[in-house]
Structure 1
Amino acid sequence: MDSFANLFREPFQFFTTILLSLLFPLSFLIISRLSVAHYLIDLVGYSKTEISNNCDLLIKFFLQVNPIFLHVLVSIISVAALSHTLTGGTSCFIKRTPEPVSRLRLYTAWFFVCILQICVGLGIEGSIAAGVDAYEIGYERGFLTRAIFFLGLNETMFFWSNIFVKPVVDDTVFGILQENRWIEKAALAMSFGGLWWWRLRDEVEFLVVVVEKKRDLLISIGLADFVGWWLYYLTVTIGMIKIVKTLVWLVYVMFGRRVVDFDNTDGDSRNNDEKDDQFHLKGYERSELVVNGIEEGCVDIDSLYSICGHNNEENTSDEQVRTNLLEDQQQSLSDWTQNHFLTNTVMPLQPVQIQSTIEAPTNDDFPPQVPAPANSSNEKPKPFSLASLELLSNYGRLSKKSSEENLCTNALSCEAHLENSHKLPMKEILRAAGERYIQYSTQRLDGFSMFIHPYGSALSGLCMEETRDVELVHLLLAAAEEVNNQQFHLASKLISRCMWVASDSGNPVQRLSYYFAKALEERIDRSTGRYTCTDEDHHLKYIKIMSLGTNSAFLTCHQLIPFSQVMQFAGVQTIVENVRSAKKIHLIDFNIRSGIQWIVLIQALAEKGDSPIELLKITAVGSIEKENFEATSNTLHSFTKSLGLPFSFDIVFVSDMKDFKKESVNIKTDETVAVYCNSILRTMLSKPDCLDNLMKVVRSIGPTIIVVGEVEANHNSPSFLNRFIETLFFYSAFFDCFEDCMDRCSPCRTTIEGVYFGEGIRNIVAAEAEDRFTRNVKLEVWRAFFARFGMVEEELSESAWYQAHLILKQFAQGSSCDLQKDGKGLIIGWKGTPIHSLSIWKFL
């Protein structure tokens, strides 16, 4: 039984020593993740009370308890390693002879090993729960600093292994301290090299980078940040001392050897006598030891030297082995760095024009492909989504300037921003995030990046909130790309990190990111089979949202936001000009909502004294709840009655536009018909048969004029990333507008963003195929579509343009609303981002 146990003692001691020795480099990994976690918490602005209330027990331990023990233990070990490296002496913990371990020494070693093991184990679990377990960096510090830190950490790890780990393991397994063997040293060094390659090289530099980032953002640097920064450079110092000692040793070996004079026979005889004496001395000591039973079966002469105290040759051999090992590791690290930079180089991208089309199963709808740059190392390049970069380049209007020129430009713009004291528009924040996403995310591992670059300090000119917003959008873009690549595990971590900052009640960027992050979560659930809600439920919810115009939130939005009033006044002005001579006017509205758009028309017709009309008829066509139509009818009837205007209101309720027929509308021969389609045609893009039937019926009716108001955006691309980026920029303009025009605490804003925008973002981002019923295309696409039915576009009159400009002057933020002419139509935007289009049509 004892022989069987002895068979497993050495392997058990071997592997246990290696595993426990790796606790020390792992402790640096945990300290680095703690720095990241506290950095993110400082960005969010959470207090300790909020962390205690919102985080589970494991994350609390990771953030609050773990640093206390970990910083103290690692600091003690590092300082002791530095002292050992400087003096070159051996501690009383290390003995070269097998002997029983002293109790004090053993208790101390047990304490350090157990506490560090608990801190590292729970720290790893806590970092995973907090979502900072793969927070990597796209910018690497100098190779020389990294190499020196690697050597210093390797030296400190060996010190930890000899001083603390081996006493515990050897006493447990053998009852005495065992001699260090070269195979243990080599295995430990290779294990550390593997750990460095796998994780440490990408995360440990946060100990320094986070401090520098906080300094740039004017965030206070805490004691934990300082300790992490101090430990990093303390380890670098140990590495430098080791390099100097190694160089001194090499110089001594190469130039300090004793020159032997072969012509001096006396010297030769003395050397021979010394060798003979040494041989006889060794033989005598070995015989004595064997007789006394201290070393039985010892056949290794090096072991004899260590027992007898003559260990010069062994020390030289150990030093040579360690020097060679470190040189091999340094060469390996150098090879990796060269290959890493070669295989991750991304060439500048040229902006391309991406056409907006109604989705069809043809290859023409897909954006052109950009060939990947050649790889000089003949290795397969890392896949990278070029389509998303092209679209971001178009939005950002990035030039082909060098990084230094971009830095100068950003710095100047930041200075101008500070001088003018203007809040940076959301579009510019998204552009900055897109630019950083393109330029600074090319060197990543496993899809993660901290989004810090040597030129990232140009953003230090922004205020803290704007910098946080840029980094938040950057995280969102990275998460979308991982979702597109079906790397759902990585995407979930990025989304979780976004949700640390994103909020449905925060600033515009935080609110926008919140809804997009939730949409990405749903897309992941759909792809992984965890989605439970049916799309029929969402479609019914969407139909109800279309009737949102009947509630107070929409009416408040109509009063405060200029878009709807600009479209309505310009559209109504056009209708008035085309029906001014008619006695009976019939208006067909396919999305009447509250009917507020017809108040202006009714008032204008009532004031028409020269030739008063005989009848104004409005027919509301739709598939929303019939009660909403009736409420709108009552409102319009009351208003026309107060003005003495003959009025009739008909309701055509159809569950599906495929069932809509000409006979459904009661049209008299003496009526002049005008059709008003405001934001309704886009809802049928996912059902082409319904859209075709509607256009055929309208053509058979033969209206005098058709007013079409639609969303001016391309949310119908079959490419997920293109659609995501288009949607992100589009809704950013809406959220920016709401921030400027409405109070942040307004319940109206909360309702519109949460219900209307939130549902639209969710469906565009999360759904595909027939489940994606929220679709938008631009005016140029509608022109091509209307041409199929023999429709021609009419010029928007000068009076309509005047009405649009006049409305904008009534809003405090009207200067931020853009009115642009697109052919014969009108484009309404917000700070340069198109939002709506208005066009006038007739049948040939």
Structure 2
Amino acid sequence: MDSRQLFRHSLSSEVISFKAAATAAGASAWSQLPASVKLNLGNSPDSPFSTPLDCDAFPAPSTTTQDRHSISPPEPTDSKALRQIETMLMAPDNEAAAAATTTTSSRRHDADADADADDNLRSRKRQRAGPEVKRLLLSCAEALAEDRAAKFKGLAQETREVVSITGEPLQRLGAYMLEGLVARQEASGATIYRALRCEGRDLLSHMQILYDICPYFKFGYMAANGAIAEAVRHDDRVHIVDFQIAQGTQWVTLLQALAARPGGPPRVRITGLVDDDGGPVAERLAAVSRRFRIPVEFRPVGAAAQDVTPAMLDVREGEALAVSFTLQLHHTPDESVEVGNPRDGLLRMVKGLGPRVVTLVEQESNTNTTPFLTRFAEALDYYAAMFESIEVALPRGSGERIGVEQQCLARDIVNVVACEGRERVERHELLGKWRSRLGMAGFRPYPLSRYVNEVIRGLLGAYSGNYRLREEDGAVLLGWKQRDLISASAWH
């Protein structure tokens, strides 16, 4: 089986095998959530982050693609609930919903009147959406940068009148960008960033939804796995080091493909950085090993990427070493944060291990060392494209959509906008800068296969015609309309 056949086999089961593992895990995780998980950040009375977060208010993620991709309008009961959370982040809990159904006729009349008023408010907001939201947000950021507190307060109040977490994409994004600005003024960004950290099981559910509705993760996984499959196609012993293994789902299809090699599967060791004991990852990889009859050994490493040493990774002679950095390396501080420059130091350490291939998947955004105003405008442009791409997949009234936008995107937005120094850990760089760093560490480009790129291009067609794939010097970039969002490259 040559590299093309190997990767074709992997891609043919990409959706099925991932969903069989991750969707089941997501549904199971949802059922294990506490009865009521509440979050009260106490930032601002009007903040979407100041509302108690009740996970029970949202339905469990759908377990079928048909349900997940439904773009039908919300049911009337959902619409009524959404009227009550125009300035909230989450829907009311089940007891409140039940109580609402037993109100007297007079109270229903009052509620209908309030609903009509809310409809009028939303209508006015829609009329001022788009360019008006962007103009106000940039004016707020400028006032804050100039330390003009009174002007910022007035502009922030005006901006609150045109943003909404249930509105158009730019209105939804604007609600989170505004709260990032408020948090920056109040020096509470780091506190909010930590408080918004979602429990692993809850986050898995939201990430699974994002995986289903947008191609970002699939793109990164396919590109990285394609490069690794090509690099180790003749090896009998393979060692994968994953600096952000998460749930280990990236490796399911690659292992399945390696197991189907005509000469028999290689022995595979996977070393992954974990936040816990790595138990769920070990169970998943063990199940894959049994099902596809491929020897897999998993070893968790509980350390931050910048603290990893060669001894922790147990690299052995005679193994083909593949190293994966998937949406992780931007979290490692660079020379602008620490004199020792851990980011470049990590790359030099990895180069010293003699890897067969290193894969890098990162957000294509310049928010690392740029001044605040430039960084804010860049973040606004980048996340506007992200929010717009979600718009075509989930209806505006969807609780799943609000959950995805808050848990998968809003936390990063707050960190980029509100934090500085060591507290700002979301430090994205453009592909050109990553090229420079990897080149200085001694790496050379390992061009991604044109066949792999064409398969990915075909995948995008199943989502929206607004997604595009661009090749650049052996790397590939996934974009929405004219905005690049994710880059994938390989090195050796």
Q: What TM-score does the superposition give when structure 1 sets the normalisation length?
A: 0.42
AA aligned to 1:514 is: A
Instruction: Specify the alignment match of 2:368 in structure 1.
Output: 716
Once superposed, what is the RMSD of the aligned Cα atoms? Answer: 2.6
Judge conservation of contact 2:184–2:418 (CA < 8 Å) in 1: yes
Task: Tell which structure's C-alpha radius of gyration is larger.
Answer: 1
| Alignment partner, residue 666 of structure 1 | 314
Q: Which amino acid aligns with 2:140?
A: A
* CA–CA distance in structure 2, aligned partners of residues 802 and 485 of structure 1: 48
How far the C-alpha of 1:745 sits from its partner, in A, is 3.3
How far 1:466 sits from its partner (Å)? 5.9
* Secondary structure, counterpart of 2:392 in structure 1: helix
Is 1:648 the equivalent of 2:309?
A: no
Q: Is the 8 A contact 1:480 1:520 kept in 2?
A: yes
Aligned match of 2:327 = 679
Cα distance in structure 1, aligned partners of 2:194 and 2:183: 18
**Separation in structure 2 between the aligned mates of residue 553 and residue 770 of structure 1, nearest angstrom:** 27
Identity %: 25
Distance apart, 1:464 and its partner CA: 8.7
Does the 8 Å CA contact 2:363/2:429 hold for their aligned counterparts? yes
User: Would the alpha carbon gap of residues 521 and 617 (structure 1) be closer, same or farther in structure 2, given more than 3 Å must change?
Assistant: same
Residue in structure 1 matching 2:485, options 812, 817, 835:
835
Cα deviation code 1:389-425 (max 9, x no counterpart): xxxxxxxxxxxxxxxxxxxxxxxxxxxxxxxxxxxxx
Structure 1: stretches of 5+ with no match in the other structure: 1-49, 55-219, 221-462
Work out whether 1:625 is the aligned partner of 2:276.
yes
Tell me the amino acid that sits aligned with residue 136 of structure 2: L
3-state DSSP of counterpart to 1:603: helix
Quick check: 1:586 aligned with 2:239?
A: yes
Which one has more relative contact order, counting CA pairs under 8 Å at least 6 apart? 2
- In structure 2, the partner of 1:509 is 170
Give the Cα separation in 2 of the matches to 1:571 and 1:717.
27
* 1:524 alignment counterpart: 185
Equivalent in the alignment of 1:817: 467
Cα deviation, residue 540, structure 1: 4.8
State the partner residue of 1:634.
283
Decide whether aligned partners of structure 1 residues 465 and 747 sit closer, same or farther in structure 2, where only a CA change above 3 A counts: closer
Kept in 2, the 8 Å contact 1:561–1:738? The answer is yes
Q: How far apart in 2 are the matches of 1:547 and 1:778? A: 29
Q: Distance in 1 between matches of 2:174 and 2:379?
A: 12
Query: Matched residues in 2 for 1:747 and 1:595: separation?
Result: 27
Letter in 2 for 1:637: A
C-alpha distance in structure 2 between counterparts of 1:722 and 1:668, whole Å: 45
* Corresponding residue for residue 706 of structure 1: 358
**1:473 matched residue in structure 2:** 134
Aligned partners of 2:289, 2:213: CA distance in 1, in Å?
A: 25
Counterpart of 2:161 in structure 1 is 500
Report the CA distance shift for 1:658/1:567 in structure 2 as closer, same or farther (over 3 A): closer
- Structure 2 CA distance for partners of 1:562 and 1:538, relative to 1, 3 Å: same
* CA drift at 1:467: 4.5
Deviation at residue 548 of structure 1 after TM alignment? 7.5
Secondary structure at the counterpart of residue 314 of structure 2: coil
Q: Does the aligned pair in 2 maintain the 1:711–1:837 contact within 8 Å?
A: yes
After superposition, the Cα gap between the structure-2 partners of 1:599 and 1:723, relative to the gap in structure 1 and judged at 3 Å, is same
* Distance (Å, rounded) in 2 between the aligned partners of 1:514 and 1:727: 14
Which of residues 786, 808, 812 in structure 1 aligns to 2:460? 808
- CA separation of 1:478 and 1:554: change in aligned 2, threshold 3 A: same
Please name the residue that 2:57 is paired with: none
Structure 2: gaps of 5 or more residues: 1-82, 88-119
Query: Which whole-Å CA distance do the structure 2 matches of 1:478 and 1:665 have between them?
Result: 49
Asked if the contact 2:256/2:288 (under 8 Å) is kept, the reply is no
Give the letter for the 1:822 counterpart.
Answer: E
Distance in 2 between the 1:545 and 1:778 partners? 27
Q: Spell out, residue by residue over 1:594-620, the C-alpha distance to the aligned partner (whole angstroms, 9 max, x if none).
A: 222112101211221x21124121110
Partner of 1:564: 217
Q: Which amino acid aligns with 1:835?
A: L
Report whether the alignment pairs 1:555 with 2:208.
Answer: yes
2: CA distance between counterparts of 1:473 and 1:826?
30
Q: Select the residue among 229, 253, 265 that pairs with 1:600.
A: 253
8 Å Cα contact 2:382-2:483 kept in structure 1: yes
1:826 to partner: Cα distance:
0.7
The correspondence for 1:611, drawn from 233, 254, 263, is: 263
1:539 Cα deviation from its structure 2 partner: 6.2
Aligned in 2, Cα 1:789/1:775: closer, same or farther, shift over 3 Å? Answer: same
Contact kept in structure 1, 2:445 and 2:474, CA below 8 Å: yes
Query: In structure 2, do the counterparts of structure 1 residues 639 and 745 end up closer, same or farther at CA, with 3 Å as the change threshold?
Result: farther
- Check the 8 A contact 2:366/2:378 in 1, yes or no: yes
Q: Distance in 2 between matches of 1:563 and 1:752?
A: 14
The residue that corresponds to 2:15 in the other structure is: none
The structure with more helix, counted as a fraction of residues:
1
| CA 1:603–1:550: 2 relative to 1, 3 Å | farther
Partner of 2:487, secondary structure, is strand
Letter of the 1:494 partner, please give it.
L
Q: Number of aligned pairs?
A: 370
Contact 1:657/1:691 (8 A) holds in 2: no
1:729 counterpart SS class:
helix
Q: Are residues 1:489 and 2:150 paired?
A: yes
- How far residue 769 of structure 1 moved from its aligned partner, in angstroms, is 2.1
Matched residue type, 1:617: R
The residue correspondences of 1:219-258 to structure 2 (distance < 5 A) are none
DSSP 3-state at the match of 2:147: coil
The TM-score normalised by the length of structure 2 is 0.70
Kept in 1: contact 2:141–2:181 (CA 8 A): yes
Does the CA contact (< 8 Å) of 2:348 and 2:442 recur in 1? no
In structure 2, the residue corresponding to 1:501 is in which secondary structure?
coil
CA distance, structure 1, for counterparts of residue 203 and residue 370 of structure 2: 33
1:586 and 1:821, CA in 2 relative to 1: closer, same or farther beyond 3 A?
same
CA distance in 1, matches of 2:444, 2:243: 20
CA positional deviation for 1:538: 5.4
Shift of 1:836: 0.6
C-alpha offsets along residues 207-241 of structure 1, whole Å, 9 cap, x if unaligned?
A: xxxxxxxxxxxxx9xxxxxxxxxxxxxxxxxxxxx
What one-letter code is carried by the residue in structure 1 that aligns with 2:129?
R
| Structure 1 pair 620–748 and aligned structure 2 pair: CA distance change class (3 A) | farther
Cα distance in 2 for partners of 1:668, 1:769 equals 38
The 1:657/1:798 distance shift into structure 2, 3 A limit, reads closer
Change in Cα spacing, 1:659 to 1:716, as seen in structure 2 (3 Å) is closer
The verdict on how the C-alpha distance between 1:839 and 1:547 changes in structure 2, with shifts beyond 3 A counting, is farther
Structure 2 vs 1, CA of residues 809 and 747 (structure 1 numbering), >3 Å: closer, same or farther? same
| CA deviation after TM superposition for structure 1 residue 718, in Å | 3.6
Is the 1:819–1:827 Cα contact (8 Å) retained in structure 2? yes
- Any idea what SS the aligned residue of 1:617 has? strand
